[in-house]
Structure 1
Amino acid sequence: MENNEAEKKREMKAKEHNLQNREISDSLKRNNIRIIGVPEEEEREIGLEGLWEQIIAEKLPNLGKDTDIKIQKAQRTPITFNKNQPSTRHIIVKFTKYSGKERIMKAAREKKSLTYNGRQIRFAADLSTETWQARKEWQDTFSVLNQKNMQPRILSPARLSFKIEGEIKSFPDKQKLKESVTTKPALREILRGTLSGEKR
Protein backbone atom coordinates (compact mmCIF):
# COMPACT_ATOMS: atom_id res chain seq x y z
CA MET A 1 0.00 0.00 0.00
CA GLU A 2 2.86 2.39 0.81
CA ASN A 3 4.39 1.67 -2.59
CA ASN A 4 1.05 2.37 -4.29
CA GLU A 5 0.68 5.66 -2.42
CA ALA A 6 4.25 6.68 -3.29
CA GLU A 7 3.65 5.76 -6.95
CA LYS A 8 0.44 7.83 -7.03
CA LYS A 9 2.27 10.82 -5.52
CA ARG A 10 5.06 10.49 -8.11
CA GLU A 11 2.50 10.33 -10.93
CA MET A 12 0.69 13.42 -9.58
CA LYS A 13 3.97 15.35 -9.30
CA ALA A 14 4.99 14.31 -12.82
CA LYS A 15 1.60 15.43 -14.16
CA GLU A 16 1.88 18.79 -12.36
CA HIS A 17 5.45 19.21 -13.63
CA ASN A 18 4.38 18.49 -17.24
CA LEU A 19 1.49 20.94 -16.94
CA GLN A 20 3.82 23.66 -15.61
CA ASN A 21 6.29 23.03 -18.45
CA ARG A 22 3.45 23.26 -20.98
CA GLU A 23 2.18 26.51 -19.46
CA ILE A 24 5.68 28.04 -19.51
CA SER A 25 6.24 26.96 -23.10
CA ASP A 26 2.86 28.35 -24.18
CA SER A 27 3.42 31.66 -22.37
CA LEU A 28 6.79 32.07 -24.14
CA LYS A 29 5.00 31.53 -27.46
CA ARG A 30 2.02 33.73 -26.58
CA ASN A 31 2.84 36.46 -29.12
CA ASN A 32 3.70 34.04 -31.95
CA ILE A 33 1.90 33.00 -35.13
CA ARG A 34 2.89 29.90 -37.06
CA ILE A 35 2.55 30.15 -40.85
CA ILE A 36 2.19 26.75 -42.49
CA GLY A 37 2.63 25.92 -46.16
CA VAL A 38 5.03 28.60 -47.48
CA PRO A 39 7.87 26.95 -49.47
CA GLU A 40 11.37 27.82 -48.29
CA GLU A 41 12.52 29.14 -51.66
CA GLU A 42 10.00 32.01 -51.38
CA GLU A 43 12.17 33.90 -48.88
CA ARG A 44 15.56 33.70 -50.65
CA GLU A 45 15.35 37.13 -52.30
CA ILE A 46 13.48 39.11 -49.65
CA GLY A 47 14.05 37.30 -46.33
CA LEU A 48 11.41 36.17 -43.86
CA GLU A 49 10.41 39.67 -42.69
CA GLY A 50 9.98 40.76 -46.32
CA LEU A 51 7.98 37.62 -47.06
CA TRP A 52 5.73 38.33 -44.06
CA GLU A 53 5.13 41.90 -45.28
CA GLN A 54 4.27 40.59 -48.75
CA ILE A 55 1.76 38.04 -47.41
CA ILE A 56 0.06 40.67 -45.23
CA ALA A 57 0.02 43.28 -48.03
CA GLU A 58 -1.62 40.78 -50.42
CA LYS A 59 -3.93 38.86 -48.10
CA LEU A 60 -4.77 41.28 -45.26
CA PRO A 61 -4.09 44.73 -46.75
CA ASN A 62 -6.08 46.66 -44.11
CA LEU A 63 -3.82 45.33 -41.36
CA GLY A 64 -0.66 45.93 -43.41
CA LYS A 65 -1.15 49.68 -42.92
CA ASP A 66 -1.65 49.35 -39.15
CA THR A 67 1.42 50.85 -37.47
CA ASP A 68 0.48 49.27 -34.13
CA ILE A 69 1.10 45.74 -35.47
CA LYS A 70 4.86 45.22 -35.34
CA ILE A 71 6.87 42.02 -35.52
CA GLN A 72 9.88 41.40 -33.34
CA LYS A 73 11.35 38.65 -35.52
CA ALA A 74 10.52 35.89 -37.98
CA GLN A 75 12.26 32.52 -38.30
CA ARG A 76 11.78 29.00 -39.65
CA THR A 77 11.17 26.11 -37.28
CA PRO A 78 14.19 23.83 -36.69
CA ILE A 79 14.87 21.08 -39.22
CA THR A 80 13.17 17.81 -38.31
CA PHE A 81 13.21 14.83 -40.62
CA ASN A 82 10.16 12.64 -40.94
CA LYS A 83 10.23 10.42 -44.04
CA ASN A 84 6.50 9.67 -43.66
CA GLN A 85 5.52 13.33 -43.63
CA PRO A 86 7.82 15.48 -45.76
CA SER A 87 6.82 19.13 -45.44
CA THR A 88 8.31 22.60 -45.45
CA ARG A 89 9.39 24.07 -42.16
CA HIS A 90 6.87 26.44 -40.63
CA ILE A 91 7.54 30.16 -40.24
CA ILE A 92 7.26 31.53 -36.70
CA VAL A 93 6.45 35.25 -36.49
CA LYS A 94 6.88 36.87 -33.07
CA PHE A 95 4.93 40.08 -32.46
CA THR A 96 5.93 42.86 -30.08
CA LYS A 97 2.36 42.86 -28.65
CA TYR A 98 -0.19 40.12 -28.11
CA SER A 99 -2.94 42.40 -29.46
CA GLY A 100 -1.19 42.55 -32.86
CA LYS A 101 -1.09 38.76 -33.06
CA GLU A 102 -4.76 38.49 -32.10
CA ARG A 103 -5.86 40.99 -34.76
CA ILE A 104 -3.92 39.13 -37.46
CA MET A 105 -5.40 35.78 -36.35
CA LYS A 106 -8.95 37.20 -36.31
CA ALA A 107 -8.55 38.64 -39.82
CA ALA A 108 -7.10 35.33 -41.09
CA ARG A 109 -10.04 33.37 -39.58
CA GLU A 110 -12.51 35.71 -41.26
CA LYS A 111 -10.82 35.09 -44.63
CA LYS A 112 -11.37 31.33 -44.12
CA SER A 113 -8.98 30.40 -46.95
CA LEU A 114 -5.55 31.91 -47.64
CA THR A 115 -3.27 31.25 -50.60
CA TYR A 116 0.18 32.58 -51.45
CA ASN A 117 1.58 32.21 -54.97
CA GLY A 118 -1.10 29.63 -55.74
CA ARG A 119 -0.42 27.52 -52.63
CA GLN A 120 -2.75 27.05 -49.67
CA ILE A 121 -1.26 28.53 -46.49
CA ARG A 122 -2.55 28.57 -42.93
CA PHE A 123 -2.05 30.74 -39.84
CA ALA A 124 -2.09 28.99 -36.46
CA ALA A 125 -1.26 29.91 -32.88
CA ASP A 126 2.24 28.76 -31.95
CA LEU A 127 1.66 26.36 -29.07
CA SER A 128 3.68 23.61 -27.42
CA THR A 129 3.47 20.07 -28.80
CA GLU A 130 1.73 18.97 -25.60
CA THR A 131 -0.97 21.63 -26.01
CA TRP A 132 -1.57 20.65 -29.64
CA GLN A 133 -1.88 17.02 -28.51
CA ALA A 134 -4.37 18.02 -25.78
CA ARG A 135 -6.41 19.97 -28.36
CA LYS A 136 -6.32 17.04 -30.76
CA GLU A 137 -7.79 14.77 -28.07
CA TRP A 138 -10.95 16.93 -28.11
CA GLN A 139 -11.48 16.44 -31.87
CA ASP A 140 -14.14 13.67 -31.76
CA THR A 141 -16.03 15.27 -28.88
CA PHE A 142 -15.90 18.69 -30.57
CA SER A 143 -17.28 17.21 -33.81
CA VAL A 144 -20.24 15.53 -32.07
CA LEU A 145 -21.10 18.68 -30.09
CA ASN A 146 -20.84 20.78 -33.25
CA GLN A 147 -23.31 18.48 -35.07
CA LYS A 148 -25.77 19.03 -32.19
CA ASN A 149 -25.35 22.86 -32.43
CA MET A 150 -23.96 23.09 -28.90
CA GLN A 151 -21.50 25.86 -29.92
CA PRO A 152 -18.28 24.08 -28.92
CA ARG A 153 -15.07 26.10 -28.62
CA ILE A 154 -11.49 25.21 -27.78
CA LEU A 155 -10.40 27.83 -25.26
CA SER A 156 -6.77 28.67 -24.70
CA PRO A 157 -4.79 26.59 -24.24
CA ALA A 158 -6.83 23.37 -24.52
CA ARG A 159 -10.12 23.64 -22.63
CA LEU A 160 -13.35 22.50 -24.26
CA SER A 161 -16.34 24.81 -23.84
CA PHE A 162 -19.92 24.26 -25.06
CA LYS A 163 -23.50 25.34 -24.39
CA ILE A 164 -25.93 22.97 -22.68
CA GLU A 165 -29.33 23.77 -21.16
CA GLY A 166 -28.70 27.49 -21.66
CA GLU A 167 -25.40 27.40 -19.74
CA ILE A 168 -21.83 27.47 -21.03
CA LYS A 169 -19.73 24.71 -19.50
CA SER A 170 -15.94 24.44 -19.71
CA PHE A 171 -13.68 21.41 -19.13
CA PRO A 172 -9.87 21.25 -18.88
CA ASP A 173 -9.68 17.56 -19.82
CA LYS A 174 -11.73 14.48 -20.71
CA GLN A 175 -11.65 13.16 -17.14
CA LYS A 176 -13.53 16.23 -15.85
CA LEU A 177 -16.04 15.92 -18.71
CA LYS A 178 -16.57 12.20 -17.93
CA GLU A 179 -17.28 13.09 -14.28
CA SER A 180 -19.85 15.71 -15.33
CA VAL A 181 -21.52 13.39 -17.86
CA THR A 182 -22.43 10.91 -15.12
CA THR A 183 -24.97 13.42 -13.74
CA LYS A 184 -26.42 14.42 -17.13
CA PRO A 185 -28.08 11.51 -19.00
CA ALA A 186 -28.87 13.61 -22.11
CA LEU A 187 -25.23 14.67 -22.47
CA ARG A 188 -24.07 11.11 -21.77
CA GLU A 189 -26.24 9.92 -24.69
CA ILE A 190 -24.90 12.64 -27.03
CA LEU A 191 -21.27 11.80 -26.19
CA ARG A 192 -21.71 8.02 -26.01
CA GLY A 193 -18.56 6.49 -27.50
CA THR A 194 -16.46 9.64 -27.73
CA LEU A 195 -15.26 9.64 -24.12
CA SER A 196 -14.71 5.92 -23.62
CA GLY A 197 -12.76 5.36 -26.83
CA GLU A 198 -15.37 3.02 -28.31
CA LYS A 199 -16.78 3.72 -31.78
CA ARG A 200 -20.13 5.44 -32.10
Structure 2
Amino acid sequence: METTTDWIEEAEERRGELEDKIMEKEEAEKKLRKKIQEYEGKIRELSDALKRNNLCIIGIPEEEERGKGAEGVLEEIIAENFPELGKEKGIEIQEAQRTPFRRNLNRSSARHIMVKLAKYKDKEKILKAARDKRALTYKGRPIRLVTDLSFETWQARKNWHEIFRVLDRKNMQPRILYPASLSFRIEGEIKVFPNKQKLKEFVTTKPALQEILRGTQ
Protein backbone atom coordinates (compact mmCIF):
# COMPACT_ATOMS: atom_id res chain seq x y z
CA MET A 1 0.00 0.00 0.00
CA GLU A 2 2.83 2.36 0.88
CA THR A 3 4.51 1.62 -2.47
CA THR A 4 1.25 2.22 -4.33
CA THR A 5 0.65 5.48 -2.47
CA ASP A 6 4.16 6.70 -3.27
CA TRP A 7 3.65 5.79 -6.93
CA ILE A 8 0.34 7.69 -7.04
CA GLU A 9 1.85 10.75 -5.39
CA GLU A 10 4.77 10.68 -7.81
CA ALA A 11 2.38 10.32 -10.76
CA GLU A 12 0.29 13.26 -9.48
CA GLU A 13 3.42 15.37 -9.13
CA ARG A 14 4.55 14.53 -12.65
CA ARG A 15 1.09 15.28 -13.99
CA GLY A 16 1.15 18.66 -12.26
CA GLU A 17 4.57 19.41 -13.77
CA LEU A 18 3.31 18.37 -17.20
CA GLU A 19 0.22 20.57 -16.89
CA ASP A 20 2.42 23.52 -15.91
CA LYS A 21 4.61 22.94 -18.98
CA ILE A 22 1.54 22.73 -21.22
CA MET A 23 0.21 26.00 -19.79
CA GLU A 24 3.59 27.65 -20.28
CA LYS A 25 3.72 26.41 -23.87
CA GLU A 26 0.19 27.66 -24.61
CA GLU A 27 1.04 31.05 -23.11
CA ALA A 28 4.23 31.26 -25.19
CA GLU A 29 2.27 30.35 -28.36
CA LYS A 30 -0.34 32.99 -27.52
CA LYS A 31 2.39 35.64 -27.16
CA LEU A 32 3.98 34.48 -30.41
CA ARG A 33 0.67 34.74 -32.30
CA LYS A 34 0.16 38.24 -30.89
CA LYS A 35 3.67 39.24 -31.94
CA ILE A 36 3.11 37.84 -35.44
CA GLN A 37 -0.15 39.80 -35.74
CA GLU A 38 1.68 42.97 -34.67
CA TYR A 39 4.38 42.41 -37.30
CA GLU A 40 1.77 41.68 -39.97
CA GLY A 41 -0.03 44.90 -39.01
CA LYS A 42 3.18 46.90 -39.32
CA ILE A 43 3.94 45.34 -42.71
CA ARG A 44 0.42 46.19 -43.90
CA GLU A 45 0.77 49.78 -42.68
CA LEU A 46 4.13 50.12 -44.45
CA SER A 47 2.67 48.71 -47.67
CA ASP A 48 -0.28 51.09 -47.48
CA ALA A 49 2.05 54.02 -46.75
CA LEU A 50 4.02 53.28 -49.91
CA LYS A 51 0.72 53.40 -51.85
CA ARG A 52 -0.44 56.58 -50.11
CA ASN A 53 -0.57 58.71 -53.27
CA ASN A 54 -1.93 55.96 -55.53
CA LEU A 55 -5.28 55.75 -57.30
CA CYS A 56 -6.71 52.60 -58.86
CA ILE A 57 -8.90 52.95 -61.98
CA ILE A 58 -11.19 49.97 -62.57
CA GLY A 59 -13.15 49.24 -65.73
CA ILE A 60 -11.01 50.77 -68.48
CA PRO A 61 -10.76 48.45 -71.54
CA GLU A 62 -7.32 47.07 -72.38
CA GLU A 63 -5.17 49.20 -74.70
CA GLU A 64 -7.47 52.20 -74.25
CA GLU A 65 -4.46 54.25 -73.15
CA ARG A 66 -2.59 53.60 -76.41
CA GLY A 67 -1.30 56.84 -77.90
CA LYS A 68 -2.14 58.98 -74.83
CA GLY A 69 -0.74 56.90 -72.00
CA ALA A 70 -2.45 55.88 -68.79
CA GLU A 71 -1.95 59.46 -67.57
CA GLY A 72 -4.14 60.64 -70.44
CA VAL A 73 -6.90 58.24 -69.36
CA LEU A 74 -7.08 59.82 -65.90
CA GLU A 75 -7.12 63.29 -67.44
CA GLU A 76 -10.07 62.27 -69.65
CA ILE A 77 -11.88 60.78 -66.65
CA ILE A 78 -11.48 64.03 -64.74
CA ALA A 79 -12.66 66.08 -67.72
CA GLU A 80 -15.72 63.85 -68.23
CA ASN A 81 -16.75 63.50 -64.58
CA PHE A 82 -15.23 66.43 -62.69
CA PRO A 83 -14.85 69.33 -65.14
CA GLU A 84 -14.35 71.74 -62.22
CA LEU A 85 -11.22 69.79 -61.18
CA GLY A 86 -9.99 69.75 -64.74
CA LYS A 87 -9.85 73.54 -64.69
CA GLU A 88 -7.54 73.52 -61.69
CA LYS A 89 -3.80 73.65 -62.12
CA GLY A 90 -1.26 71.55 -60.31
CA ILE A 91 -2.65 67.97 -60.34
CA GLU A 92 0.60 66.24 -61.22
CA ILE A 93 0.80 62.55 -62.20
CA GLN A 94 4.15 60.93 -61.41
CA GLU A 95 3.50 57.62 -63.17
CA ALA A 96 0.68 55.37 -64.37
CA GLN A 97 0.56 51.81 -65.69
CA ARG A 98 -1.54 48.68 -65.94
CA THR A 99 -1.28 46.06 -63.20
CA PRO A 100 -0.26 43.27 -63.08
CA PHE A 101 2.63 44.30 -65.33
CA ARG A 102 2.09 41.39 -67.72
CA ARG A 103 -1.31 40.83 -69.22
CA ASN A 104 -3.01 37.55 -68.26
CA LEU A 105 -4.71 36.29 -71.42
CA ASN A 106 -6.95 33.99 -69.35
CA ARG A 107 -8.62 36.96 -67.65
CA SER A 108 -11.80 38.29 -69.23
CA SER A 109 -11.74 41.57 -67.27
CA ALA A 110 -9.35 44.42 -67.99
CA ARG A 111 -6.37 44.99 -65.74
CA HIS A 112 -6.62 47.93 -63.40
CA ILE A 113 -4.70 51.13 -64.07
CA MET A 114 -2.54 52.29 -61.16
CA VAL A 115 -1.84 56.04 -61.01
CA LYS A 116 0.66 57.63 -58.65
CA LEU A 117 0.01 61.31 -57.98
CA ALA A 118 2.67 63.74 -56.80
CA LYS A 119 0.50 65.00 -53.93
CA TYR A 120 -1.67 63.09 -51.48
CA LYS A 121 -4.16 65.97 -51.25
CA ASP A 122 -4.81 65.69 -55.00
CA LYS A 123 -5.71 62.01 -54.62
CA GLU A 124 -8.10 62.82 -51.77
CA LYS A 125 -9.62 65.65 -53.82
CA ILE A 126 -10.33 63.28 -56.73
CA LEU A 127 -11.74 60.55 -54.47
CA LYS A 128 -14.05 63.02 -52.72
CA ALA A 129 -15.35 64.21 -56.08
CA ALA A 130 -15.90 60.56 -57.06
CA ARG A 131 -17.83 59.85 -53.85
CA ASP A 132 -19.99 62.92 -54.34
CA LYS A 133 -20.88 61.97 -57.92
CA ARG A 134 -21.21 58.24 -57.08
CA ALA A 135 -21.64 56.99 -60.69
CA LEU A 136 -18.52 57.55 -62.82
CA THR A 137 -18.08 56.94 -66.54
CA TYR A 138 -15.36 56.83 -69.17
CA LYS A 139 -16.67 57.44 -72.68
CA GLY A 140 -20.08 56.43 -71.38
CA ARG A 141 -18.87 53.17 -69.76
CA PRO A 142 -19.22 52.74 -65.97
CA ILE A 143 -15.90 52.80 -64.11
CA ARG A 144 -14.63 53.03 -60.53
CA LEU A 145 -11.96 55.09 -58.82
CA VAL A 146 -10.61 53.69 -55.55
CA THR A 147 -7.58 54.17 -53.35
CA ASP A 148 -4.71 51.69 -53.73
CA LEU A 149 -4.27 49.54 -50.61
CA SER A 150 -2.56 46.29 -49.63
CA PHE A 151 -4.41 43.01 -50.25
CA GLU A 152 -4.82 42.46 -46.49
CA THR A 153 -6.41 45.86 -46.00
CA TRP A 154 -8.78 45.32 -48.92
CA GLN A 155 -9.87 41.96 -47.47
CA ALA A 156 -10.57 43.58 -44.09
CA ARG A 157 -12.57 46.37 -45.75
CA LYS A 158 -14.45 43.86 -47.90
CA ASN A 159 -15.94 42.31 -44.75
CA TRP A 160 -18.04 45.46 -44.34
CA HIS A 161 -19.50 45.54 -47.87
CA GLU A 162 -22.86 43.91 -47.17
CA ILE A 163 -23.49 46.02 -44.06
CA PHE A 164 -22.31 49.12 -45.96
CA ARG A 165 -24.86 48.54 -48.74
CA VAL A 166 -27.73 48.14 -46.26
CA LEU A 167 -26.80 51.32 -44.38
CA ASP A 168 -26.33 53.21 -47.63
CA ARG A 169 -29.86 52.27 -48.76
CA LYS A 170 -31.12 53.72 -45.48
CA ASN A 171 -29.21 56.99 -46.12
CA MET A 172 -27.13 56.54 -42.96
CA GLN A 173 -24.00 57.94 -44.66
CA PRO A 174 -21.72 54.91 -44.18
CA ARG A 175 -17.97 55.32 -44.77
CA ILE A 176 -15.05 52.88 -44.68
CA LEU A 177 -12.24 54.58 -42.79
CA TYR A 178 -8.58 53.62 -42.91
CA PRO A 179 -7.57 50.91 -42.45
CA ALA A 180 -10.88 49.02 -42.14
CA SER A 181 -13.27 50.77 -39.76
CA LEU A 182 -16.94 51.43 -40.49
CA SER A 183 -18.60 54.74 -39.66
CA PHE A 184 -22.20 55.81 -40.14
CA ARG A 185 -24.69 58.37 -38.83
CA ILE A 186 -27.30 57.30 -36.33
CA GLU A 187 -29.53 59.51 -34.18
CA GLY A 188 -27.63 62.58 -35.36
CA GLU A 189 -24.19 61.24 -34.35
CA ILE A 190 -21.34 59.62 -36.28
CA LYS A 191 -20.36 56.26 -34.81
CA VAL A 192 -17.14 54.44 -35.71
CA PHE A 193 -16.57 50.69 -35.35
CA PRO A 194 -13.12 49.06 -35.79
CA ASN A 195 -14.58 45.56 -36.17
CA LYS A 196 -17.84 43.62 -36.38
CA GLN A 197 -17.72 42.59 -32.72
CA LYS A 198 -17.89 46.22 -31.58
CA LEU A 199 -20.76 46.85 -34.01
CA LYS A 200 -22.59 43.76 -32.73
CA GLU A 201 -22.31 44.99 -29.14
CA PHE A 202 -23.68 48.40 -30.17
CA VAL A 203 -26.53 46.92 -32.21
CA THR A 204 -27.88 45.06 -29.14
CA THR A 205 -28.66 48.47 -27.61
CA LYS A 206 -30.50 49.74 -30.71
CA PRO A 207 -33.55 47.60 -31.66
CA ALA A 208 -34.27 49.67 -34.78
CA LEU A 209 -30.70 49.25 -36.03
CA GLN A 210 -30.84 45.57 -35.15
CA GLU A 211 -33.84 45.19 -37.44
CA ILE A 212 -32.09 47.11 -40.27
CA LEU A 213 -29.00 44.88 -40.09
CA ARG A 214 -30.85 41.61 -39.54
CA GLY A 215 -29.14 38.86 -41.54
CA THR A 216 -26.05 40.88 -42.44
CA GLN A 217 -23.79 39.93 -39.53
TM-score, normalisation: structure 1: 0.81
Structure 2: how far apart are the matches of 1:112 and 1:134? 22
Does 1:25 find its partner at 2:67? no
- Shift of the 180–61 alpha-carbon distance from structure 1 to 2, 3 Å rule, reads closer
**Aligned 1:182-193 pairs, distance under 5 A:** 184=205, 186=207, 191-193=213-215
SS of the residue 1:62 aligns to: helix
SS of the residue 1:54 aligns to: helix
Gaps of 5+ in 1: 196-200
Structure 2: how far apart are the matches of 1:56 and 1:150? 28
Structure 1: how far apart are the matches of 2:76 and 2:216? 43
Matched residue, 2:156: 134
State the Cα RMSD in Å: 2.5
Matched residue, 1:117: 139
SS of the residue 2:144 aligns to: strand
Deviation string 1:123-169 (CA, Å, 9 cap, x unpaired) is 11111111111111012333444455544321122101133454432
Identity of aligned residues (%): 62
Total equivalences in the alignment: 193
Does 1:101 find its partner at 2:123? yes
List, as ranges, runs of 4+ consecutive aligned residues in structure 1 with deviation greater than 6 Å: none
- The structure with more helix, counted as a fraction of residues: 2
Matched residue, 2:20: none
**Which of these two proteins has the greater Rg computed from alpha carbons?**
2
TM-score, normalisation: structure 2: 0.76
Gaps of 5+ in 2: 1-22
Matched residue, 1:168: 190
1:7 positional shift: 1.8
**Aligned 1:67-78 pairs, distance under 5 A:** 67-78=89-100
Q: Paired residue for 1:35, among 37, 49, 57?
A: 57
1:190 positional shift: 5.1
Structure 1: how far apart are the matches of 2:75 and 2:192? 37
